[in-house]
């Protein structure tokens, strides 16, 4: 059975009733927000996390670009008390570019790349108290322009979190990338650091505020991006979460704005 068919079968089961399971941990959801959680799924449990829609705006004096992604899916499976595996795929993306001088339009679409990851928790796999993990990630060039990167990529992600109180926690994510060059012919080093605060407003509602800085040494031009993020997650029940969020670029190198909406289900 192909990887794509497996993805579709799991996605089709996302909203079916979930049978009874031993609930040793709260649902560890990867989304929303910029950062990565340090917690992992319990052994034998699965998470299906779907971005229903994502719109990103980038503009300058010469051009405006709108990018819409649909069906960005992440599948996670607990394989040990402290470890999980992940597979992610962007099923479809649309890019619309408008020349702000001539008014000419360019429309393109394509599928995205597949990502494979292993998250190994080092401390507190349920994410409580102090928690830390390491996560190597590999990107396979299965997509095509303008959504796919055009070549393989790799990263090492190091998430850390600490509960400041029963309702407030601090989290950081450090990421070291072998990023694909803009021309898709080679790789370069990139580094990203994310810091954020998460507020548990009530047992079902969580709000997060984050700041990210990314240093990218692409041969086509070095860039430093600063981004601020706000997100909101609502747990409809123990196994179902809905989320929304907004990112705002704080400098000319970062995308101007991004809005997204998603849903996650534990199986």
Q: What is the DSSP letter of 42?
A: P
Indicate the pTM of the whole model. Answer: 0.88
In order of their start, the domains of the chain are 3-12+33-266 (2.40.160.40)
- Which residues 6+ apart lie within 8 Å of 175 measured at CB? 155, 156, 157, 158, 191, 192, 193, 194
Note the pLDDT tens digit of each residue in 81-131.
999 999 999 888 999 999 988 889 999 988 999 999 999 999 999 999 999
> Beta-carbon neighbour count of residue 266 at 10 Å?
25
Rounded to 5°, angle at Cα 145 from 143 and 148? 40
User: Computed over its alpha carbons, how large is the radius of gyration of the chain?
Assistant: 19
CA–CA dist 135, 140 (Å, integer): 16
Note the pLDDT tens digit of each residue in 153-208.
999 999 999 999 999 999 999 999 999 998 888 899 999 999 999 999 999 999 99
CA–CA dist 32, 229 (Å, integer): 10
- Which residues 6+ apart lie within 8 Å of 173 measured at CB? 34, 35, 36, 157, 158, 159, 160, 192, 193, 194
């Amino acid at each position: 059975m192909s990887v794509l068919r497996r993805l579709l079968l799991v996605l089709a089961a996302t909203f079916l009733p979930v049978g009874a399971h031993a609930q040793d941990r709260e649902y560890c959801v990867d989304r929303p927000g910029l950062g990565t959680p340090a917690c992992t799924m319990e052994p034998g449990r699965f998470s299906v996390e779907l971005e229903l829609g994502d719109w990103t705006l980038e503009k300058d004096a010469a051009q405006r670009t709108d990018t819409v992604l649909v069906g960005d899916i992440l599948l996670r499976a607990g394989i040990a008390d402290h470890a999980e595996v992940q597979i992610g795929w962007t099923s479809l993306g649309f890019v619309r570019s408008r020349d702000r001088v001539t008014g000419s339009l360019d429309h393109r679409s394509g599928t995205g790349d597949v990502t494979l990851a292993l998250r190994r928790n080092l401390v507190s796999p349920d994410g409580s108290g102090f928690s830390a993990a390491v996560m190597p990630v590999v990107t396979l060039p299965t997509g095509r322009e303008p959504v796919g990167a055009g070549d393989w990529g790799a990263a090492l992600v190091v998430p850390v979190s600490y509960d400041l109180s029963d309702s407030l926690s601090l989290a950081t994510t450090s990421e070291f990338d072998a990023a694909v060059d803009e021309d898709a012919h080679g790789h370069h080093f990139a580094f990203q650091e994310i810091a954020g605060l998460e507020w548990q407003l009530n047992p079902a509602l969580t709000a997060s505020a984050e700041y990210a800085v990314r240093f990218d040494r692409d041969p086509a031009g070095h860039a430093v991006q600063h981004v601020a993020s706000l997100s909101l997650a609502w747990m409809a029940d123990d196994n179902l979460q809905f989320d929304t969020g907004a990112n705002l670029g704080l400098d000319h190198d970062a995308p101007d704005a991004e809005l997204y909406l998603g849903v996650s289900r534990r199986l």
